[in-house]
Structure 1
Amino acid sequence: MSQSVDRALSILPLLAEGPADLGRVADRLGVHKSTALRLLRTLHEHGLVYRQPDQRYRLGARLFALAQEAVENLDVREIAHPHLVRLNEECGHTVHLAVYEEDEVLYIDKVESRYPVRMYSRIGRPVAITVAAVAKLLLADLPEDRRRALAERLDYPMYTARSTPDAATFLEELARVREQGWATDLGGHEESINCVGAPIRGADGRVVAAMSLSAPNVVVTADELLALLPLVRRTADAIGREYSGTTPADTPHD
Protein backbone atom coordinates (compact mmCIF):
# COMPACT_ATOMS: atom_id res chain seq x y z
CA MET A 1 0.00 0.00 0.00
CA SER A 2 1.35 3.45 -0.91
CA GLN A 3 2.25 5.80 1.92
CA SER A 4 -0.38 8.35 0.86
CA VAL A 5 -3.18 5.77 0.78
CA ASP A 6 -2.07 4.38 4.13
CA ARG A 7 -2.11 7.84 5.70
CA ALA A 8 -5.47 8.73 4.17
CA LEU A 9 -7.05 5.53 5.47
CA SER A 10 -5.56 6.21 8.91
CA ILE A 11 -7.60 9.42 9.09
CA LEU A 12 -10.93 7.55 9.00
CA PRO A 13 -10.63 5.68 12.33
CA LEU A 14 -9.40 8.93 13.92
CA LEU A 15 -12.52 10.78 12.78
CA ALA A 16 -14.65 7.84 13.90
CA GLU A 17 -13.69 8.90 17.43
CA GLY A 18 -15.22 12.33 16.75
CA PRO A 19 -14.54 15.55 14.84
CA ALA A 20 -10.90 16.63 14.72
CA ASP A 21 -9.12 19.77 13.54
CA LEU A 22 -6.22 19.88 11.09
CA GLY A 23 -3.61 20.01 13.83
CA ARG A 24 -4.88 16.88 15.53
CA VAL A 25 -5.01 14.98 12.26
CA ALA A 26 -1.45 16.03 11.42
CA ASP A 27 -0.22 15.06 14.89
CA ARG A 28 -1.88 11.65 14.74
CA LEU A 29 -0.37 10.94 11.31
CA GLY A 30 2.99 12.41 12.24
CA VAL A 31 3.04 14.67 9.18
CA HIS A 32 3.14 18.38 8.39
CA LYS A 33 -0.19 20.20 8.34
CA SER A 34 0.10 20.77 4.60
CA THR A 35 0.30 17.01 4.01
CA ALA A 36 -2.65 16.34 6.31
CA LEU A 37 -4.65 19.05 4.55
CA ARG A 38 -3.96 17.52 1.14
CA LEU A 39 -5.16 14.11 2.35
CA LEU A 40 -8.26 15.60 3.97
CA ARG A 41 -9.14 17.51 0.80
CA THR A 42 -8.91 14.31 -1.25
CA LEU A 43 -11.17 12.48 1.19
CA HIS A 44 -13.54 15.44 1.20
CA GLU A 45 -13.77 15.42 -2.59
CA HIS A 46 -14.94 11.81 -2.44
CA GLY A 47 -17.47 12.55 0.32
CA LEU A 48 -15.63 10.43 2.88
CA VAL A 49 -14.98 13.33 5.25
CA TYR A 50 -16.83 16.61 5.80
CA ARG A 51 -15.44 19.96 6.89
CA GLN A 52 -17.64 21.57 9.52
CA PRO A 53 -18.19 25.34 9.94
CA ASP A 54 -15.88 25.23 13.00
CA GLN A 55 -13.07 23.98 10.67
CA ARG A 56 -13.03 20.53 12.21
CA TYR A 57 -13.46 17.42 10.10
CA ARG A 58 -15.82 14.53 10.62
CA LEU A 59 -16.75 11.39 8.67
CA GLY A 60 -18.78 12.14 5.57
CA ALA A 61 -22.21 10.87 4.60
CA ARG A 62 -20.81 9.07 1.56
CA LEU A 63 -18.85 6.76 3.85
CA PHE A 64 -22.01 5.72 5.69
CA ALA A 65 -23.83 5.23 2.41
CA LEU A 66 -21.06 2.96 1.15
CA ALA A 67 -21.09 0.98 4.39
CA GLN A 68 -24.86 0.51 4.20
CA GLU A 69 -24.66 -0.53 0.57
CA ALA A 70 -21.96 -3.04 1.39
CA VAL A 71 -24.02 -4.56 4.19
CA GLU A 72 -27.11 -4.79 1.99
CA ASN A 73 -25.15 -6.56 -0.72
CA LEU A 74 -23.58 -9.13 1.57
CA ASP A 75 -24.83 -12.60 0.76
CA VAL A 76 -24.69 -14.61 3.96
CA ARG A 77 -25.57 -17.77 2.07
CA GLU A 78 -22.61 -17.40 -0.28
CA ILE A 79 -20.27 -16.77 2.64
CA ALA A 80 -21.69 -19.57 4.78
CA HIS A 81 -21.98 -22.34 2.20
CA PRO A 82 -18.33 -23.54 2.20
CA HIS A 83 -18.42 -23.68 5.99
CA LEU A 84 -21.66 -25.66 5.96
CA VAL A 85 -20.17 -28.12 3.48
CA ARG A 86 -17.09 -28.63 5.64
CA LEU A 87 -19.23 -29.21 8.71
CA ASN A 88 -21.30 -31.74 6.78
CA GLU A 89 -18.17 -33.52 5.57
CA GLU A 90 -16.85 -33.68 9.11
CA CYS A 91 -19.92 -35.11 10.81
CA GLY A 92 -22.14 -36.38 7.99
CA HIS A 93 -25.40 -34.85 9.21
CA THR A 94 -27.82 -32.42 7.55
CA VAL A 95 -26.87 -28.75 7.87
CA HIS A 96 -29.35 -25.89 7.49
CA LEU A 97 -28.98 -22.12 7.18
CA ALA A 98 -31.97 -19.85 7.89
CA VAL A 99 -32.90 -16.18 8.07
CA TYR A 100 -35.82 -14.20 9.50
CA GLU A 101 -37.87 -12.24 6.97
CA GLU A 102 -41.32 -10.67 7.33
CA ASP A 103 -42.33 -12.72 10.36
CA GLU A 104 -41.18 -15.98 8.81
CA VAL A 105 -38.04 -18.03 9.27
CA LEU A 106 -36.89 -19.42 5.94
CA TYR A 107 -34.30 -22.00 4.99
CA ILE A 108 -31.86 -20.43 2.53
CA ASP A 109 -29.35 -23.28 2.30
CA LYS A 110 -29.15 -26.98 3.05
CA VAL A 111 -26.43 -29.60 2.83
CA GLU A 112 -27.86 -33.11 2.82
CA SER A 113 -26.82 -35.88 5.18
CA ARG A 114 -24.56 -38.63 3.89
CA TYR A 115 -26.88 -41.13 5.53
CA PRO A 116 -29.81 -42.74 3.66
CA VAL A 117 -32.44 -41.22 5.98
CA ARG A 118 -33.15 -37.74 4.61
CA MET A 119 -35.08 -34.75 5.96
CA TYR A 120 -37.99 -33.20 4.04
CA SER A 121 -36.93 -29.58 4.60
CA ARG A 122 -36.46 -27.47 1.46
CA ILE A 123 -34.62 -24.27 0.62
CA GLY A 124 -37.05 -21.36 0.44
CA ARG A 125 -39.64 -23.01 2.65
CA PRO A 126 -40.58 -21.60 6.07
CA VAL A 127 -39.63 -23.56 9.16
CA ALA A 128 -41.89 -24.61 12.03
CA ILE A 129 -41.32 -21.33 13.81
CA THR A 130 -42.38 -22.35 17.33
CA VAL A 131 -40.11 -25.41 17.55
CA ALA A 132 -37.18 -25.14 15.12
CA ALA A 133 -33.79 -24.40 16.63
CA VAL A 134 -32.94 -21.85 13.91
CA ALA A 135 -36.22 -20.02 14.56
CA LYS A 136 -35.53 -19.81 18.28
CA LEU A 137 -32.09 -18.35 17.60
CA LEU A 138 -33.38 -15.71 15.21
CA LEU A 139 -36.39 -14.70 17.29
CA ALA A 140 -34.43 -14.66 20.54
CA ASP A 141 -32.35 -11.81 19.13
CA LEU A 142 -35.37 -9.57 18.60
CA PRO A 143 -36.03 -6.76 21.09
CA GLU A 144 -38.22 -7.91 23.96
CA ASP A 145 -41.31 -6.02 22.84
CA ARG A 146 -41.11 -7.53 19.34
CA ARG A 147 -40.50 -11.02 20.75
CA ARG A 148 -43.53 -10.72 22.98
CA ALA A 149 -45.79 -9.31 20.27
CA LEU A 150 -44.78 -12.04 17.84
CA ALA A 151 -45.19 -14.82 20.40
CA GLU A 152 -48.68 -13.62 21.25
CA ARG A 153 -49.92 -13.81 17.67
CA LEU A 154 -48.38 -17.15 16.72
CA ASP A 155 -50.26 -20.42 16.62
CA TYR A 156 -48.80 -23.33 18.56
CA PRO A 157 -49.50 -26.58 16.73
CA MET A 158 -48.60 -29.70 18.72
CA TYR A 159 -46.54 -31.53 16.12
CA THR A 160 -45.40 -33.92 18.86
CA ALA A 161 -45.73 -34.20 22.61
CA ARG A 162 -42.53 -32.12 22.86
CA SER A 163 -43.80 -29.18 20.81
CA THR A 164 -44.00 -25.72 22.36
CA PRO A 165 -47.57 -25.47 23.72
CA ASP A 166 -48.13 -21.73 24.20
CA ALA A 167 -46.73 -18.20 24.08
CA ALA A 168 -45.55 -18.16 27.69
CA THR A 169 -43.50 -21.31 27.22
CA PHE A 170 -42.13 -20.01 23.94
CA LEU A 171 -41.00 -16.74 25.50
CA GLU A 172 -39.28 -18.65 28.30
CA GLU A 173 -37.45 -20.74 25.72
CA LEU A 174 -36.39 -17.65 23.76
CA ALA A 175 -35.05 -16.04 26.93
CA ARG A 176 -33.04 -19.18 27.66
CA VAL A 177 -31.69 -19.31 24.09
CA ARG A 178 -30.77 -15.63 24.24
CA GLU A 179 -28.80 -16.21 27.43
CA GLN A 180 -27.02 -19.44 26.47
CA GLY A 181 -26.31 -18.58 22.82
CA TRP A 182 -27.51 -21.83 21.25
CA ALA A 183 -30.75 -23.74 20.71
CA THR A 184 -32.17 -27.22 20.23
CA ASP A 185 -35.18 -28.96 18.81
CA LEU A 186 -35.24 -32.40 20.37
CA GLY A 187 -38.22 -34.07 18.79
CA GLY A 188 -40.38 -30.94 18.84
CA HIS A 189 -41.28 -31.03 15.16
CA GLU A 190 -40.75 -34.69 14.35
CA GLU A 191 -40.40 -37.31 17.06
CA SER A 192 -37.47 -38.95 15.32
CA ILE A 193 -35.46 -35.81 14.45
CA ASN A 194 -33.14 -33.88 16.74
CA CYS A 195 -31.42 -30.62 15.99
CA VAL A 196 -28.83 -28.28 17.54
CA GLY A 197 -28.18 -24.76 16.29
CA ALA A 198 -26.06 -21.65 16.73
CA PRO A 199 -26.43 -17.98 15.70
CA ILE A 200 -24.40 -16.19 13.04
CA ARG A 201 -23.70 -12.62 14.11
CA GLY A 202 -22.80 -9.54 12.10
CA ALA A 203 -20.27 -6.87 12.98
CA ASP A 204 -22.76 -5.18 15.33
CA GLY A 205 -23.34 -8.39 17.28
CA ARG A 206 -26.88 -8.87 15.99
CA VAL A 207 -27.97 -12.25 14.63
CA VAL A 208 -28.09 -12.14 10.82
CA ALA A 209 -28.74 -15.85 10.28
CA ALA A 210 -28.83 -19.14 12.13
CA MET A 211 -27.46 -22.56 11.30
CA SER A 212 -28.26 -25.99 12.60
CA LEU A 213 -27.18 -29.61 12.51
CA SER A 214 -29.97 -32.19 12.32
CA ALA A 215 -30.09 -35.97 12.45
CA PRO A 216 -32.63 -38.76 13.02
CA ASN A 217 -32.29 -40.67 16.24
CA VAL A 218 -31.80 -43.89 14.29
CA VAL A 219 -28.44 -42.43 13.23
CA VAL A 220 -27.33 -40.67 16.42
CA THR A 221 -28.94 -40.14 19.80
CA ALA A 222 -29.85 -36.69 21.05
CA ASP A 223 -26.89 -36.78 23.44
CA GLU A 224 -24.52 -37.69 20.61
CA LEU A 225 -25.85 -34.79 18.55
CA LEU A 226 -25.52 -32.40 21.49
CA ALA A 227 -21.88 -33.44 21.78
CA LEU A 228 -21.37 -31.84 18.36
CA LEU A 229 -22.66 -28.45 19.55
CA PRO A 230 -19.15 -26.98 20.08
CA LEU A 231 -18.36 -27.80 16.44
CA VAL A 232 -21.60 -26.14 15.30
CA ARG A 233 -20.84 -23.04 17.35
CA ARG A 234 -17.30 -22.78 16.00
CA THR A 235 -18.66 -23.02 12.47
CA ALA A 236 -21.24 -20.30 13.15
CA ASP A 237 -18.56 -18.08 14.68
CA ALA A 238 -16.29 -18.58 11.66
CA ILE A 239 -19.11 -17.59 9.30
CA GLY A 240 -19.86 -14.55 11.43
CA ARG A 241 -16.23 -13.42 11.41
CA GLU A 242 -16.03 -13.73 7.64
CA TYR A 243 -19.41 -12.01 7.17
CA SER A 244 -18.24 -9.15 9.39
CA GLY A 245 -14.96 -8.86 7.54
CA THR A 246 -12.87 -9.62 10.61
CA THR A 247 -11.11 -12.67 9.17
CA PRO A 248 -9.78 -13.57 5.73
CA ALA A 249 -12.06 -15.62 3.51
CA ASP A 250 -9.46 -18.36 3.34
CA THR A 251 -9.14 -18.85 7.09
CA PRO A 252 -8.95 -22.61 7.74
CA HIS A 253 -11.99 -24.19 9.31
CA ASP A 254 -11.58 -25.30 12.93
Structure 2
Amino acid sequence: MEAVERAFRILACFDEGELTLTLAELARRTGFYKSTILRLCVSLERYGYIVRQPDGRYRLGATVWRLGARYRQNFTAADLIRPELRRLAETIGETASFYVRDGDSRVCLYRHEPDRAIRHHIVEGARMPLTAGAASHLLLAWTEEDPRYREIRRVGHAISLGERDSDIAAIAVPVFSPDGNLRGALAISGLITRFDDARRETVLVALKESAERIGRQKTAS
Protein backbone atom coordinates (compact mmCIF):
# COMPACT_ATOMS: atom_id res chain seq x y z
CA MET A 1 0.00 0.00 0.00
CA GLU A 2 2.83 2.39 0.79
CA ALA A 3 4.35 1.89 -2.65
CA VAL A 4 0.98 2.48 -4.31
CA GLU A 5 0.43 5.70 -2.38
CA ARG A 6 3.92 6.91 -3.28
CA ALA A 7 3.26 6.20 -6.95
CA PHE A 8 0.03 8.21 -6.75
CA ARG A 9 1.93 11.10 -5.18
CA ILE A 10 4.34 11.09 -8.11
CA LEU A 11 1.45 11.23 -10.59
CA ALA A 12 -0.20 14.03 -8.59
CA CYS A 13 2.88 16.20 -9.14
CA PHE A 14 1.74 16.78 -12.71
CA ASP A 15 -1.45 18.48 -11.50
CA GLU A 16 0.29 21.82 -11.02
CA GLY A 17 0.46 23.00 -14.63
CA GLU A 18 3.82 21.77 -15.96
CA LEU A 19 3.72 19.20 -18.75
CA THR A 20 7.14 17.76 -17.90
CA LEU A 21 9.16 17.48 -14.67
CA THR A 22 12.74 16.59 -13.87
CA LEU A 23 13.76 14.00 -11.33
CA ALA A 24 14.88 16.81 -9.01
CA GLU A 25 11.48 18.52 -9.32
CA LEU A 26 9.68 15.28 -8.53
CA ALA A 27 11.90 14.78 -5.48
CA ARG A 28 11.19 18.30 -4.27
CA ARG A 29 7.44 18.00 -4.69
CA THR A 30 7.09 14.54 -3.16
CA GLY A 31 9.82 14.67 -0.53
CA PHE A 32 11.01 11.25 -1.70
CA TYR A 33 14.61 10.21 -2.34
CA LYS A 34 15.55 10.21 -6.01
CA SER A 35 16.33 6.50 -5.81
CA THR A 36 12.79 5.84 -4.59
CA ILE A 37 11.29 7.87 -7.43
CA LEU A 38 13.43 6.10 -10.04
CA ARG A 39 12.34 2.72 -8.72
CA LEU A 40 8.65 3.64 -8.77
CA CYS A 41 8.89 5.28 -12.19
CA VAL A 42 10.11 2.00 -13.68
CA SER A 43 6.73 0.45 -12.83
CA LEU A 44 4.79 3.55 -13.86
CA GLU A 45 6.57 3.54 -17.21
CA ARG A 46 5.91 -0.16 -17.69
CA TYR A 47 2.17 0.39 -17.44
CA GLY A 48 2.12 3.61 -19.45
CA TYR A 49 1.40 6.08 -16.66
CA ILE A 50 4.66 7.98 -17.11
CA VAL A 51 7.08 8.45 -20.01
CA ARG A 52 10.74 9.33 -19.61
CA GLN A 53 11.84 11.59 -22.45
CA PRO A 54 15.27 11.53 -24.11
CA ASP A 55 16.24 14.65 -22.15
CA GLY A 56 15.52 12.83 -18.88
CA ARG A 57 12.35 14.75 -18.05
CA TYR A 58 9.15 12.89 -17.19
CA ARG A 59 5.66 13.39 -18.57
CA LEU A 60 2.34 11.62 -18.17
CA GLY A 61 1.76 8.63 -20.40
CA ALA A 62 -1.10 7.49 -22.60
CA THR A 63 -2.67 5.35 -19.88
CA VAL A 64 -3.59 8.47 -17.93
CA TRP A 65 -5.33 9.90 -20.99
CA ARG A 66 -7.18 6.61 -21.57
CA LEU A 67 -8.43 6.48 -17.99
CA GLY A 68 -9.45 10.14 -18.17
CA ALA A 69 -11.45 9.42 -21.31
CA ARG A 70 -13.16 6.51 -19.55
CA TYR A 71 -13.95 8.78 -16.60
CA ARG A 72 -15.62 11.33 -18.87
CA GLN A 73 -17.79 8.62 -20.39
CA ASN A 74 -19.61 8.50 -17.06
CA PHE A 75 -20.95 11.97 -17.88
CA THR A 76 -23.18 11.93 -20.96
CA ALA A 77 -23.93 15.64 -21.21
CA ALA A 78 -20.81 16.76 -23.12
CA ASP A 79 -22.72 17.40 -26.36
CA LEU A 80 -25.11 19.66 -24.45
CA ILE A 81 -22.57 21.51 -22.34
CA ARG A 82 -19.69 22.21 -24.73
CA PRO A 83 -21.73 24.40 -27.12
CA GLU A 84 -22.92 26.47 -24.18
CA LEU A 85 -19.37 26.89 -22.89
CA ARG A 86 -18.31 28.08 -26.32
CA ARG A 87 -21.23 30.49 -26.49
CA LEU A 88 -20.46 31.89 -23.02
CA ALA A 89 -16.73 32.30 -23.67
CA GLU A 90 -17.30 34.04 -26.99
CA THR A 91 -20.14 36.25 -25.72
CA ILE A 92 -18.72 37.21 -22.32
CA GLY A 93 -15.04 37.10 -23.29
CA GLU A 94 -14.03 35.07 -20.22
CA THR A 95 -13.27 31.42 -19.49
CA ALA A 96 -16.33 29.19 -19.21
CA SER A 97 -16.07 25.91 -17.29
CA PHE A 98 -18.18 23.02 -16.10
CA TYR A 99 -17.33 21.33 -12.79
CA VAL A 100 -18.52 18.18 -11.07
CA ARG A 101 -17.94 17.05 -7.52
CA ASP A 102 -15.66 14.08 -6.94
CA GLY A 103 -15.36 13.33 -3.23
CA ASP A 104 -13.70 16.26 -1.51
CA SER A 105 -12.65 17.83 -4.80
CA ARG A 106 -14.15 19.45 -7.85
CA VAL A 107 -13.03 18.44 -11.31
CA CYS A 108 -13.06 20.69 -14.37
CA LEU A 109 -14.80 18.32 -16.76
CA TYR A 110 -15.10 20.73 -19.70
CA ARG A 111 -13.97 24.28 -20.43
CA HIS A 112 -13.75 26.82 -23.23
CA GLU A 113 -11.40 29.79 -23.16
CA PRO A 114 -11.92 33.12 -24.96
CA ASP A 115 -9.69 34.39 -27.73
CA ARG A 116 -7.91 37.03 -25.68
CA ALA A 117 -4.33 37.32 -24.48
CA ILE A 118 -5.05 37.70 -20.76
CA ARG A 119 -7.51 35.11 -19.49
CA HIS A 120 -7.99 32.59 -16.72
CA HIS A 121 -6.41 29.37 -17.98
CA ILE A 122 -7.91 26.10 -16.77
CA VAL A 123 -6.94 22.59 -17.83
CA GLU A 124 -9.69 20.07 -18.43
CA GLY A 125 -9.34 17.39 -15.79
CA ALA A 126 -7.87 19.79 -13.23
CA ARG A 127 -8.79 18.83 -9.68
CA MET A 128 -9.25 21.44 -6.96
CA PRO A 129 -10.28 21.16 -3.31
CA LEU A 130 -13.80 22.18 -2.29
CA THR A 131 -12.44 24.86 0.02
CA ALA A 132 -12.64 27.98 -2.14
CA GLY A 133 -14.08 29.30 -5.37
CA ALA A 134 -17.57 29.90 -6.68
CA ALA A 135 -17.93 26.43 -8.21
CA SER A 136 -16.86 24.80 -4.94
CA HIS A 137 -19.42 26.74 -2.91
CA LEU A 138 -22.09 26.00 -5.50
CA LEU A 139 -21.45 22.25 -5.53
CA LEU A 140 -21.39 22.11 -1.74
CA ALA A 141 -24.64 24.04 -1.53
CA TRP A 142 -26.47 21.36 -3.51
CA THR A 143 -24.70 18.30 -2.10
CA GLU A 144 -24.35 19.13 1.62
CA GLU A 145 -26.89 19.94 4.31
CA ASP A 146 -25.03 22.94 5.70
CA PRO A 147 -26.64 26.20 6.89
CA ARG A 148 -23.68 28.14 5.49
CA TYR A 149 -24.89 27.46 1.95
CA ARG A 150 -28.58 28.25 2.37
CA GLU A 151 -28.17 31.71 0.84
CA ILE A 152 -26.50 30.25 -2.26
CA ARG A 153 -29.42 27.86 -2.74
CA ARG A 154 -31.87 30.72 -2.24
CA VAL A 155 -30.33 33.06 -4.81
CA GLY A 156 -29.28 30.25 -7.16
CA HIS A 157 -25.64 31.23 -7.70
CA ALA A 158 -22.26 31.68 -6.03
CA ILE A 159 -19.65 34.41 -6.48
CA SER A 160 -16.01 34.36 -5.43
CA LEU A 161 -13.68 37.34 -5.61
CA GLY A 162 -10.03 36.50 -5.21
CA GLU A 163 -10.53 33.40 -3.06
CA ARG A 164 -8.27 30.85 -4.75
CA ASP A 165 -6.23 33.47 -6.60
CA SER A 166 -6.27 37.14 -5.62
CA ASP A 167 -6.41 38.12 -9.31
CA ILE A 168 -9.34 35.90 -10.28
CA ALA A 169 -13.11 36.27 -9.86
CA ALA A 170 -15.72 33.63 -10.68
CA ILE A 171 -19.47 33.18 -10.80
CA ALA A 172 -21.18 29.77 -10.83
CA VAL A 173 -24.73 28.50 -11.24
CA PRO A 174 -26.14 24.97 -10.92
CA VAL A 175 -26.98 22.84 -13.93
CA PHE A 176 -29.80 20.34 -13.49
CA SER A 177 -31.06 17.47 -15.61
CA PRO A 178 -34.71 17.47 -16.76
CA ASP A 179 -35.57 15.23 -13.78
CA GLY A 180 -34.12 17.77 -11.34
CA ASN A 181 -30.83 16.08 -10.48
CA LEU A 182 -27.69 18.21 -10.21
CA ARG A 183 -25.39 17.74 -13.19
CA GLY A 184 -22.71 20.13 -12.02
CA ALA A 185 -21.66 23.76 -11.78
CA LEU A 186 -21.43 26.11 -14.76
CA ALA A 187 -18.91 28.89 -14.14
CA ILE A 188 -17.38 31.99 -15.70
CA SER A 189 -13.98 33.14 -14.43
CA GLY A 190 -11.53 35.89 -15.30
CA LEU A 191 -9.51 38.80 -14.01
CA ILE A 192 -11.12 40.33 -10.95
CA THR A 193 -10.65 43.82 -12.40
CA ARG A 194 -13.14 42.92 -15.13
CA PHE A 195 -15.85 41.83 -12.68
CA ASP A 196 -17.44 45.00 -11.33
CA ASP A 197 -21.09 45.00 -10.21
CA ALA A 198 -22.53 45.67 -13.66
CA ARG A 199 -20.31 43.05 -15.28
CA ARG A 200 -21.22 40.44 -12.66
CA GLU A 201 -24.91 40.97 -13.36
CA THR A 202 -24.34 40.50 -17.10
CA VAL A 203 -22.36 37.32 -16.50
CA LEU A 204 -24.97 35.95 -14.13
CA VAL A 205 -27.80 36.47 -16.61
CA ALA A 206 -25.84 34.69 -19.36
CA LEU A 207 -24.94 31.79 -17.05
CA LYS A 208 -28.52 31.23 -15.94
CA GLU A 209 -29.77 31.30 -19.52
CA SER A 210 -27.18 28.69 -20.50
CA ALA A 211 -27.99 26.51 -17.50
CA GLU A 212 -31.70 26.63 -18.38
CA ARG A 213 -31.02 25.62 -21.99
CA ILE A 214 -28.91 22.67 -20.85
CA GLY A 215 -31.51 21.69 -18.27
CA ARG A 216 -34.29 21.48 -20.85
CA GLN A 217 -32.41 18.93 -22.93
CA LYS A 218 -32.09 15.22 -22.36
CA THR A 219 -28.82 13.42 -22.90
CA ALA A 220 -28.53 10.84 -25.62
CA SER A 221 -29.19 7.31 -24.44
TM-score bracket for this pair, using the shorter chain length? 0.5 to 0.7
Of structures 1 and 2, the larger Rg is shown by: 1
1 CA distance for matches of 2:141 and 2:88?
24
Q: How does 1:162-201 map to 2 (within 5 A)?
A: 171-172=147-148, 174-201=149-176
Structure-2 change in CA distance of 1:187 and 1:73 (3 Å): closer
Q: How many positions carry a matched residue from both structures?
A: 147
Which of 226, 230, 234 matches 2:200?
226
Paired residue type of 1:227: E
Give how far 1:132 is off: 1.5
Q: Which runs of 4+ in 1 moved over 6 A?
A: none
TM-score (norm. length: structure 1) = 0.53
The residue aligned with 2:125 is: 124
Letter in 1 for 2:196: A
Q: What does residue 203 of structure 1 align with?
A: 178
Identity %, equivalent residues:
25
Does the 8 Å CA contact 1:195/1:225 hold for their aligned counterparts?
A: no
Counterparts of 1:31-70 in structure 2 under 5 Å?
Answer: none
Q: Does the 8 Å CA contact 1:74/1:243 hold for their aligned counterparts?
A: no
Describe the SS at the equivalent of 1:227.
helix
Who is 1:93 aligned against? Answer: 94
The answer to whether the 8 Å contact 1:88/1:113 transfers is yes
Residue 164 of structure 2 aligns with an amino acid whose one-letter code is H
Match of 1:66 in 2: none
Q: Distance in 2 between matches of 1:93 and 1:233?
A: 16
Query: CA RMSD for the aligned pairs?
Result: 2.1
On the 8 A contact 2:105/2:130 being kept in 1, the answer is yes
CA-to-aligned-CA distance 1:225-250 (integer Å, 9 cap, x gap): 312211111111111111468xxxxx
2:8 is aligned to none
Whether the aligned pair in 2 keeps the contact of 1:203 and 1:244 (CA below 8 Å) is no
AA aligned to 1:233 is: K
User: Is residue 94–residue 214 contact of structure 1 (8 Å, CA) maintained in 2?
Assistant: yes
Q: Unpaired runs of 5+ in structure 1? A: 1-71, 149-170, 246-254
What's the CA shift for 1:208?
A: 1.2
